[in-house]
Amino acid sequence: MNFFEAQDRARRSTRRLVVLYLLATASIIVGVTLIITLALAGFSSSTGGSALLPLIEQQAPLIAGVAILTTLVIAGATLFKTSMLSAGGGRVARDLGGTLISTDVQDPLRQRLRNVVEEIAIASGVPVPEIYVLEQENGINAFAAGFAPADAAIAVTRGTLELLDRDELQGVIAHEFSHILNGDMRLNIRLMGVLFGIMVLGLIGRIVLRGGRYSAFAASRRNRGAPAVLIIGLGLTILGAIGVFFARVIKASVSRQREYLADASAVQFTRQTAGLANALKKIGGYDAGSYLQAADPEEVSHMLFGTGSRLSGLFATHPPLTDRIQALDPGFRAADYPVVDLRSTRVARESMQTEHQRPAVTSGIAGATAAPSPEAVVESVGNPDQQQVEFAARLRATIPDVLYDAAHSSELAFLLSVALVMDRSGRVLDRQVSLAHEQLGEQRARLVERYFAELAEIDTMYRLPLLEIAFPALKRRPPPQLGYLIELAGRMIDVDGDIDLYEFCFYRVLVSSLQHVLDPTHRPRRRRAARKPVREAAIELIRIVAHHGQDGDAAGETAFRAGLATFGDWAGAAAYETDSDFSAFKLDKQLDMLIALNAEGRQMLIKAVSTTIMFDGTLTTTEAELMRAICASLECPLPPSAMLRPNP
Give the phi and the psi of residue 359 in degrees, each rounded to 5. Answer: -65, 150
State the pLDDT confidence band at 3, using cuts at 50, 70 and 90: low
Q: Name residues whose C-beta falls within 8 Å of residue 172's C-beta, 6 or more positions apart in sequence.
A: 142, 156, 160, 164, 266, 276, 279, 305
Of 118, 162, 176, 623, which is the active-site residue? 176
Distance, in Å, from the CA atom of 13 to the CA atom of 455, rounded to the nearest integer, reads: 44
DSSP secondary structure string for all residues of 195-250: HHHHHHHHHHHHHHHHHHHHHHHHHHHTT--S-HHHHHHHHHHHHHHHHHHHHHHH
Give the model's pLDDT for residue 37.
Answer: 67
State the pLDDT confidence band at 434, using cuts at 50, 70 and 90: very high
pLDDT winner (highest mean) among 4-8, 94-98, 227-231: 94-98
Give the model's pLDDT for residue 316.
Answer: 78
Give the model's pLDDT for residue 362.
Answer: 38
Give the model's pLDDT for residue 366.
Answer: 47
For residue 438, the tally of other CB atoms under 10 A from its CB is 10
Answer whether residue 253 shows pLDDT above 90: no
Q: What is the pLDDT of residues 436-484, one digit of tens each?
A: 999 999 999 999 999 999 999 988 888 889 999 999 999 889 989 999 9
Q: Is 176 known to be catalytic?
A: yes
DSSP secondary structure string for all residues of 475-494: TTS-HHHHHHHHHHHHHHHT
**404 or 21: which leads in pLDDT:** 404
- Which is it for strands 98-100 and 130-134: parallel, antiparallel or unpaired? antiparallel
Distance, in Å, from the CA atom of 124 to the CA atom of 636, rounded to the nearest integer, reads: 10
**Do the beta carbons of residue 493 and residue 505 sit within 8 Å?**
no
Strands (E), 270-345: none
Answer whether residue 244 shows pLDDT above 70: yes
Q: What is the pLDDT of residues 490-501, one digit of tens each?
A: 999 888 777 877
What mean pLDDT do residues 286-300 have? 79
268 burial (CB, 10 Å; 0-12 / 13-18 / 19+) is middle
Give the model's pLDDT for residue 623.
Answer: 80
**568 or 402: which leads in pLDDT:** 402
Answer whether residue 268 shows pLDDT above 60: yes
- The whole model's pTM is what? 0.82
Give the model's pLDDT for residue 53.
Answer: 67
Give the model's pLDDT for residue 523.
Answer: 62
**Do the beta carbons of residue 31 and residue 242 sit within 8 Å?**
yes
**Do the beta carbons of residue 138 and residue 157 sit within 8 Å?**
yes
Give the model's pLDDT for residue 262.
Answer: 79
**111 or 529: which leads in pLDDT:** 111
Give the model's pLDDT for residue 415.
Answer: 96
Give the model's pLDDT for residue 405.
Answer: 94
Give the model's pLDDT for residue 69.
Answer: 82
Give the model's pLDDT for residue 172.
Answer: 93
Distance, in Å, from the CA atom of 401 to the CA atom of 107, rounded to the nearest integer, reads: 18
CATH 3.40.50.720 fits 90-177+260-317+338-344, yes or no: no
Query: Which of the 8 DSSP states describes residue 499?
Result: -
Answer whether residue 545 shows pLDDT above 80: yes
Give the phi and the psi of residue 322 in degrees, each rounded to 5. Answer: -60, -40
Give the model's pLDDT for residue 485.
Answer: 94
426: region left, alpha or beta (phi > 0 left; psi from -120 to 50 alpha):
left
Q: Name residues whose C-beta falls within 8 Å of residue 556's C-beta, 6 or more positions apart in sequence.
A: 546, 547, 549, 550, 576, 578
Burial state string for 270-294 with b = 16 or more CB within 10 A and e = fewer than 16: beebebbbbbbbbbbebebbbbbee
Over the chain, what is the mean pLDDT? 79
Give the whole-number percent of the chain exceeding pLDDT 70: 78
Answer whether residue 217 shows pLDDT above 50: no
Distance, in Å, from the CA atom of 80 to the CA atom of 112, rounded to the nearest integer, reads: 37
Answer whether residue 414 shows pLDDT above 90: yes
State the pLDDT confidence band at 570, using cuts at 50, 70 and 90: low
Answer whether residue 530 shows pLDDT above 60: no
Q: What is the pLDDT of residues 111-132, one digit of tens each?
A: 999 999 999 999 888 899 999 9
What mean pLDDT do residues 277-305 have? 84
Give the model's pLDDT for residue 232.
Answer: 67
- Gyration radius (Cα) of the chain, Å: 28
What mean pLDDT do residues 229-235 have? 68
**Do the beta carbons of residue 511 and residue 493 sit within 8 Å?**
no
For residue 476, the tally of other CB atoms under 10 A from its CB is 17
Q: In the sheet that 98-100 helps form, which strands lie side by side, from edge to edge?
A: 98-100, 130-134, 153-157, 142-145
Give the model's pLDDT for residue 440.
Answer: 94
State the pLDDT confidence band at 359, using cuts at 50, 70 and 90: very low
Distance, in Å, from the CA atom of 549 to the CA atom of 545, rounded to the nearest integer, reads: 6
**480 or 201: which leads in pLDDT:** 480
How far is residue 205 from each of residues 148, 212, 229, 353, measured CA to CA in Å? 35, 10, 10, 56
Give the model's pLDDT for residue 195.
Answer: 77
Answer whether residue 431 shows pLDDT above 80: yes
Q: Name residues whose C-beta falls within 8 Å of residue 152's C-beta, 6 or more positions apart in sequence.
A: 88, 89, 126, 127, 129, 130, 144, 145, 146, 180, 185
Answer whether residue 225 shows pLDDT above 60: no
155 - beta bridge partners? 132, 143
Distance, in Å, from the CA atom of 333 to the CA atom of 555, rounded to the nearest integer, reads: 62
What mean pLDDT do residues 419-431 have? 85
How far is residue 419 from each of residues 403, 409, 441, 456, 512, measured CA to CA in Å? 10, 15, 15, 10, 18
DSSP 3-state of 286: strand
Answer whether residue 636 shows pLDDT above 70: yes
State the pLDDT confidence band at 14, using cuts at 50, 70 and 90: low
What mean pLDDT do residues 259-270 have? 74
Burial state string for 220-231 with b = 16 or more CB within 10 A and e = fewer than 16: eeeeeebbbbbb
Distance, in Å, from the CA atom of 98 to the CA atom of 86, rounded to the nearest integer, reads: 17
Give the model's pLDDT for residue 379.
Answer: 82
CATH 1.10.3680 fits 399-518, yes or no: yes
pLDDT winner (highest mean) among 183-197, 198-212, 230-244: 183-197
Give the model's pLDDT for residue 603.
Answer: 86
Distance, in Å, from the CA atom of 7 to the CA atom of 1, rounded to the nearest integer, reads: 10
Answer whether residue 527 shows pLDDT above 50: yes
